[in-house]
Each structure stands twice: as structure tokens, then as C-alpha cells.
Amino acid sequence: MYKKLAILVAVLAFVVLIMAVAIGYDWLVSRTDTPDNLHGSTTTIEWGSGPAVDDTSEPTASDNIPEEVIPAPTPPPVDDLTPDFVMYDADGNQLSLSDFFGKPIVLNFWATWCPNCVDEIPYFEALYAERGDEIHIIKINLLDGQRETRDRVDRFMEDNGFTFPLFFDGGDGALEYGVRFIPMTFFINAAGEMVAHAQGAVDDAMLRNGLTMAGA
């Protein structure tokens, strides 16, 4: 009788242990935050009749810096050159990316409403002041006529005293480069070949590393 009682107690203890483990596991899972967007330092753009914007939270500047500049695995298959596209300068002149081949290029897609884009701009401004005659810094602003307007961009540039050249997407640039998150930066060598890219805000060291990879 005592042996049967001992077995019963042991079984009950085991059941209680299993239940405790299950409850503990459920509690831990409920405490774990699964990120919805692995690209936490970027802002998502969805393309349609016009860019519908879905802002992420606004992390601090230090959180916006990705760990590395990512080498481009394979240049786009357009005669081994990066995709060409139409853009407009601040005076409304139509240009193509290929017009800038011959010098290393830093190609960046951005908007004033994107906090991560704003965080990285001083590094581009400093680089332009230092090496603007050796390289091309092409910052493509993504106008949508609603959240991002020409007036807003002009005020932003004037209020902050930025002097880097201002360019606007002619309609296909961001799509050609698969830009669904901003900021995004592409490093292109003088021959027009993409050698590296960075998704998320960059800092001075990353810009210089990317340019080194581009032969600058």
C-alpha cells in the first residue's frame, strides 16, 4: 500500500513540475518582443500611386548606424554598370546618373521627414566640403508632393545651412535601385560600377570606407 502511495505521489509531483515548466515558458514568451522590422534604423516606403509612408519609431543617432558597409555582391547586369536614371537638379535641369561617371559617386536616397536621413546629413555635408571636387555626392530627395514638397526641402536646406548639391528623383531612380527603406546609400566607382551599399544612417567612417572601396 505504501509503495502504491509513493508511486502516486511521484506521479503527481511530475505532473506539477510539467505544468510549472509550461507556465514558465508561456510567461517568458509573452515577455519577449519580436521585432516587426529587422531594419530598425530605416523608414519603410511603399510604392503605389504615390509613396505611402510608414514611419518607424525615432531611435537615437547612435542606434541608426549599421555595423558595416555591405559589399555589393554583383553589379546590376546593365553592361556591368549601375542602373541609369533621370534626376533633376535644384534649378530643374534634367540629368542622368551616367553624366557623373568618371569620378567615384556616393548615391543617397533621403527625405526631410526621415529622422535617420537627417541624422546622417552632417557627415555628407562635411565630406562635400572636404572632397567635393574629387567625388560626386548625389543626394536624391524623394518628393511626393504631400509629405515631402519642394518648399519644405528648400526651407530645410536654408535653415540648416547645407550646401551639398540637391537632386530630385525623376521617377524611376528609387525603383531602379530597389529602395524600400531610407536612407540608403550606394557607392559607385569612376567606371560606373556599384561596389558597396549601406542601408540605414551612415557615419563619417562608413562614408570614407565606402569611398575607399570605390577607389577614391
Task: Provide the pLDDT for residue 109.
Answer: 95
Q: What contacts 154, CB < 8 A, 6 or more positions away?
A: none
Task: Provide the pLDDT for residue 13.
Answer: 59
Task: Provide the pLDDT for residue 42.
Answer: 38
Q: What are the two backbone dihedrals, phi and then psi, of residue 195, each rounded to the nearest 5 degrees?
A: -115, -20
Pseudo-torsion of CA 161, 201, 87, 193, nearest 10°?
Answer: 130
Please tell me the CATH superfamily of domain 43-213, with its number. Glutaredoxin (3.40.30.10)
Task: Provide the pLDDT for residue 62.
Answer: 31
pTM above 0.75, yes or no: no
**Rg of the chain in Å (alpha carbons):** 25
Q: What are the angstrom distances between the C-alpha of 11 and each of 1, 19, 22, 203?
A: 15, 12, 17, 61
Q: What are the angstrom distances between the C-alpha of 127 and each of 9, 80, 124, 133?
A: 75, 27, 5, 10
- Triad 9, 15, 16: Cα angle to 5°: 90
pLDDT one digit per residue (tens) for the chain, 216 residues: 555 555 555 556 565 555 554 444 343 333 323 222 222 233 333 333 233 333 333 333 333 333 344 444 443 443 357 889 999 999 999 999 999 999 999 999 999 999 999 999 999 999 999 998 999 999 999 998 899 999 999 999 999 999 999 999 988 898 888 888 899 999 999 999 998 889 899 999 999 999 999 988
Picking from 125, 106, 119, 120, the residue whose alpha carbon sits closest to that of residue 194 is 106
Task: Provide the pLDDT for residue 61.
Answer: 34
Residue 194 zone, left/alpha/beta (φ > 0; ψ -120 to 50; rest): beta
Residue 162 zone, left/alpha/beta (φ > 0; ψ -120 to 50; rest): beta
Task: Provide the pLDDT for residue 199.
Answer: 87
